[in-house]
Structure 1
Amino acid sequence: MNLGEIREKIDQTDMQLVKLINQRMEYVLRAGKLKEVILDKAREEQVLRQLLAQARGLIRPEFITTLYESILTESKALQERNLKLVGFQGEHGAWGELAIRSYADDMIPIPCVEFAHVFEGVRDRELDMGMVPVENSLEGAVTEVNDILVDTDLKIIGEIRIPVRQCLLVLPGGDYRDIKVVYSHPQALAQCRSFLSRNKLEPRPFYDTAGAARWLAQERPSSTAVIASPIAAELYGLDIVKEDIGDNTDNFTRFLLISRNSSPVAGNKCSLVFSTEHRAGALFEVLHVFAENEINLTRIESRPIRRNPGAYAFLLDFLGREDDPVVQQALEKIREKTPFFRILGFYPESPTVR
């Protein structure tokens, strides 16, 4: 390798080191939610012994000790701040992280492999809250999330609508004319079908948009681009060749903020889940309650109840306040008409982020 190539490898290694330290801090914060005291001297000494056992070659034990003590000091400082941890599905740079950042400045996005892990993390108190997508304006309902909402005891305390503006990302200094293949989540590839066809680019599926960006930055394959968010370009040091390459510019995803507790502020929107008796007109009777009370429905979705094959649950959103007597009377009527009924939460309706 020449000097330039060596320096490029050093830069890549430095970026990986920073990301790994950041990942460690995320685990530290999650562990801090589960333990009663921050200081655990025995645990620290055990980890240091393990690290010193790996100190070979150019790495001096004194350097390992100094580095580890600095990391521990920062870890304790972070735990003492009692930060709000909010889980999202995917790698850093996913649209869920963008939703968290757009919702509030004081939230720390924590990546989770699966949607179920977000709910489990909140339930088990590793996370304070979770941000999950419930529907997309083009693709419709996110079925996995809706299925979990049918069974969960967690509460919805907020929502946000995020515009999905897909971007074409390449390695720094890459020439757009050399691109032959593009990796991304199958849904993102489908949303950019016309752009890919027009530019004669071969689409290849990847498990996650941000994961594709991370893979490109680490593996650095030639003639390759990814479709991901602008924040993914920022996090992984990629160049944005072209923004907003989706076939439909009216592409939005609605995210829900979930918590163990109800919303601390009064809301003008409610989500609930219920089932009906298996007979003609049962669903109409429920919907008629909303109509006769002039309550505006904003969404209704049906999902099979996994614990009861052949039965269906209905997820429904409407505009109304918890302290409105008309709303309370309507909900009481519905409760009497349904064998299964649960209010998922009252929360403030959110405008779309532009």
Structure 2
Amino acid sequence: MQNRQITIAELPTDALTTDHFQLANAPMPDPKDGEVLLRVILMSIDAANRSWMKGATYRAAVNKGDPMPTYAICEVAASNSPKLAVGDIVAAEATWSNYITAKAHKVQKLPKVDTLSHLMSVYGIAGKTAFHGLISIGQPLAGETVLVSAAAGSVGGYVGQIAKTLGCRVVGIAGGPEKCAWVKDELGFDACVDYRASGLSKALFKVCPDGADIYFDNVGGKVLESSLNVMNEKGRVVCCGAISQYDTDNPTGPRNLPGALVVKRLKMEGFIVMDFAHNDAKCLRAMQHWVSTGQVKVFEDIVEGLENAPQALIGLLNGDNKGKRLVRVAADPT
């Protein structure tokens, strides 16, 4: 067995490039008592990877020389714990590596599913984030209008589809006419606005003639600013991420805060998916039902090869993915 690892060669000061990463052979980790050796199969690629390189967030900052952290689906290759056996499939906090070690009590044994990658997308981080943010914070009601940014992305696509199952009108925001058409035709959104075109605020008012009751924000910046303008009184703004602000040292914030919140009496709340872990079982039951009935479609964007993880992240930040972006490091167990 050979281990490779991608570390931070240099912290970026502006846009991320492949030069900020270094791929090298690494020592094979040796699990201690109570630990397991994990073979990394699938790694989650998220905008949060870039934010960790800017400083401490809900987790410690990533520094020069550190291996890039990630959330991964892994197979137990060796076990020094009675909790897990060789061959078990687990979810773990990992790094961009072929192999890692972890304390057995800190990994989660995963259920068997027909498609392993679904445990990272619709039944994993993406689906849980969409479900918990929309249901617990947005609290949608049938007949309301739900506005979603990054609608073609891993979370936004599920937010819109869940809202449709609940009887809401759903409007997406995505980059480019091709993506907007995909969001409507494939995901079933009622409308989708191209944020790269001029006149974003006017376009939102046109497709939301009765305003928006919920805005699920994944991008921040000017898109958040324009979306606040179209919100109805007592509307709910779900703050999930700010991808437009991560890859620059000159972030821009909405100029209509706190004014829009005060005048419209808006509720604006941020969250991370772990906040609602106590509702994960409820989320899984709902998502499995919606997938089985065809009400929620699963779209994944899987990049092959550990060595391609840096470009996969750069592409995600540039919006070139449709659905949940993953990197496949190893083949699924047979």
> Shorter-chain TM-score category?
under 0.3
Provide the TM-score with structure 2 as the length reference. Answer: 0.22
More helix by share: 1
